[in-house]
Structure 1
Amino acid sequence: MVKVEIVDEKEVGQSPYASSSDSRTSSSASISSVESDISVDESFFDRVAALVDIVPPTTRHSIASRISKTASIFKRGGKLVGNIVWVVTTSALLVALPLALTLEDEAKIVAQEKEMLEQQQGAQQMLAPPMYPSGSNSGQPQQKSLVPPGF
């Protein structure tokens, strides 16, 4: 913040900003004396808050309104996206999950039926006599395996 003080002409000689001939040539002495007067209690936030006075009120208002409009757009957009995600998730849980479980059960039943059919066909082939006699073994009986197919 800027602090304005009225300075009497009697104190002009004591001010670090006084324009005497000695201070014009030696600027480092006056700067060091001004630096020592700076308040150590001033925080970074206080310095940033003091910068507000540099920006004109109309510009501050336009910046603040743009920021608030942008924030409200993001808020509405986030709420809309959240609602869409909620609808999709609950729909998936209520419709797609039971459908997937039913299809999986049906696939298991089809696989069991197929396995049973293969077992029946394998049992019939083991009991049925061979259609073609083997000519490679002349006179020797052919050994049948006792292990069903698939093992």
Structure 2
Amino acid sequence: MVELVEVEDESFETKQAGPSDEEDEYTDTDSEISTDDEDNVPDEETLADRIYALRDIIPPTTRSYISNKVDTTTSWIKSGLSFSGKTLWVISTSALMLGVPWALAFAEEQQMVEMEKEMRMRESGQELLNQGTTAGALNSQLNAQTGKPAL
């Protein structure tokens, strides 16, 4: 069976140097006690200060890796936004320069087609009216020759 024996170190037995236990040196008075107002004042530390303090915790290689990734991502985002802005500009100006005149010409062509259709309808209506009057005149002439009264 194993038997444990406690071995005491000599450095633990000696007293450490520190303040003496004399009461004359330390006095607790109201003038030395801080007020509550001083204790409740928060440090003027911002979020940026806290993040900047993290640089001591993160190793330099990891910091450079993160920095490179952030720079690369930022560059890609800037390039993408720039490209999409230029593309949007080209599309919108092309639509304005080509689309608007085409739409105006198309609307004018539709108007012309409608006017032609209306003219044809008027002509055909006029022909029907002319046929009706000539037919009526022919009927009256026939009735006059046969001696029948016109209806």
Q: Which runs of 5+ in 2 are unaligned?
A: 1-16, 22-37, 136-149
Q: Which runs of 4+ in 1 moved over 6 A?
A: 36-39
1:10 counterpart SS class: coil
The number of equivalent residue pairs is 102
Query: With structure 2 as the length reference, what TM-score do the two structures score?
Result: 0.57
1:76 aligns with 2:79: yes
Once residues 105 and 86 of structure 2 are traced to their aligned partners in structure 1, the CA distance between those partners, rounded to angstroms, is 28
Residue 42 (structure 1) shift: 4.0
- Which residue in the other structure is 1:110 paired with? 113
RMSD of aligned residue pairs (Cα, Å) = 2.8
Amino acid at match of 1:58: T
Q: Which runs of 5+ in 1 are unaligned?
A: 1-8, 14-35, 131-139, 142-151
Once residues 62 and 120 of structure 1 are traced to their aligned partners in structure 2, the CA distance between those partners, rounded to angstroms, is 84
1:55 counterpart SS class: coil
Deviation per CA, 1:113-151, whole angstroms, max 9, x where unpaired? 101110111121122137xxxxxxxxx95xxxxxxxxxx
Q: Look at both structures and tell me which one has the larger radius of gyration over its CA atoms.
A: 2
- Which residue in the other structure is 1:96 paired with? 99
Query: With structure 1 as the length reference, what TM-score do the two structures score?
Result: 0.57
- Which residue in the other structure is 1:144 paired with? none
